[in-house]
Amino acid sequence: MDNDLIISLENISVFRENILTLSQVTMKVMPGEFIYLIGKTGSGKSSLLKTLYAELPIEDGKAVIAGFDLTSITTRQIPYLRRKLGIVFQDFQLLTDRSINDNLKFVMRATGWKERAKIAERTDEVLAMVGIPAKGFKMPHELSGGEQQRACIARALINRPEIILADEPTGNLDPGTSDEIITLLYDISKGGTAVLVATHDYHLIDKFPGRVITMDRGKVSEGAHIHSIPNAEKPHGF
């Protein structure tokens, strides 16, 4: 495998409850790539993402992500893999009983951060990177949908991941806010972190062209390749 690859899948197959959901999937991802994963509901997008963060086991083929072999990964190794991944969900999945700062600190402590000063410094850093530097003290319900998703992206950035997996990150947002979130993710990719966005919103691809991987009935095919988003600037801190 090319040592520069973040993801290398070769002819993998994945089953869910004895039903074949991914068949002979081959895919390679390099650092800094911005990629759309598109397909209808039930096409296998979510199954592929769950495979990449080791929630679904691989039955055959070869699969390496962020240096971890998914065909032989142990339960003990999975948390270490996930520290190298940033995961962004459609429904945010913020803890509703604590502030945004405490949401981030919860993840940091769970992934091995111990020094209070470094935790506070990184919390401030990632919130500034996503454009909500003064919102950390607020509760999730006090933020707009776009701000909540920015907080989720901040959470995903905490451990300086090699790749961000975003599952329908604009699914609950209005068009203008969706554009802001995709621009933010694109800017993150310019800093060297690969970004894989699963979406059914093809209008985003028209506005923000990127490499396109299409899923259909558990198989993948390649589409367009990366172009630049006009006037996109890399945020400070990436």
pLDDT at 234 over 50: no
**Domain contains 229:** no
3-state SS class at 115: coil
pLDDT at 231: 37
Residue carrying the six token digits 């083929």: 61
Q: How far is CA 8 from CA 104, 182, 204, in A?
A: 30, 24, 26
Q: Is 66 domain-assigned?
A: yes
Mean pLDDT of 151-176: 91
Distance of CA 230 to the CA centre of its chain: 23
Q: Please say if the pLDDT value at position 166 is more than 80.
A: yes
Confidence at residue 173, expressed as pLDDT on a 0 to 100 scale: 85
- Per-residue pLDDT at 3: 60
112 band by pLDDT with thresholds 50, 70 and 90: confident
Rounded to whole angstroms, the Cα distance separating 165 from 198 reads 8
Estimate to the nearest angstrom the gap between the alpha carbon of 217 and the chain centroid: 22
Q: What is the DSSP string of 163-196?
A: EEEEESTTTTS-HHHHHHHHHHHHHHHHTT-EEE
Residue type, position 219, single letter: K
Percent of the chain at pLDDT exceeding 70: 92
* Residue 220 binned pLDDT confidence (cut-offs 50, 70, 90): confident
Residue 228: pLDDT above 60? no
Contact call for residues 70 and 13 (beta carbons, < 8 A): no
Q: What is the distance between the alpha carbons of residues 212 and 35, in angstroms, rounded to a whole number?
A: 6
39: domain CATH number is 3.40.50.300
Domain membership flag for residue 186? yes
Residue 84 domain flag: yes
Q: Is the pLDDT assigned to residue 1 strictly greater than 80?
A: no
Q: Which domain holds residue 30?
A: 7-222
For 58-110, what is each residue's pLDDT tens digit?
A: 988 999 999 999 999 999 999 889 889 999 987 778 899 999 999 999 999 88
* Contact predicate 201/37, CB 8 Å: no
**CA distances, 6 to each of 45, 196, 220, 230, 237 (Å):** 18, 11, 18, 26, 21
Give the pLDDT confidence score for residue 59 in this predicted structure.
Answer: 85
The greatest distance separating any two alpha carbons of the chain, rounded to the nearest whole angstrom, comes to 48
pLDDT above 70: residue 20: yes
Q: How far apart are CA 143 and CA 91, in angstroms?
A: 14
Instruction: Please count the structural domains in the chain.
Output: 1
User: Of 196, 181, 184, 199, whose CA–CA distance to 226 is shortest?
Assistant: 196
The pLDDT of residue 17 is 81
What integer pLDDT is reported at residue 67 of this predicted model? Answer: 93
Is 232 inside a domain boundary? no
SS3 225: coil
pLDDT, tens digit, 9 for 90 and up, residues 35-58: 999 888 778 888 899 999 999 989
Gap between the Cα atoms of 141 and 139, Å rounded: 6
Looking at residues 153-166, what average pLDDT do you find? 93
- Quick check: 139 pLDDT over 90? yes
User: Which pTM does this prediction carry?
Assistant: 0.86
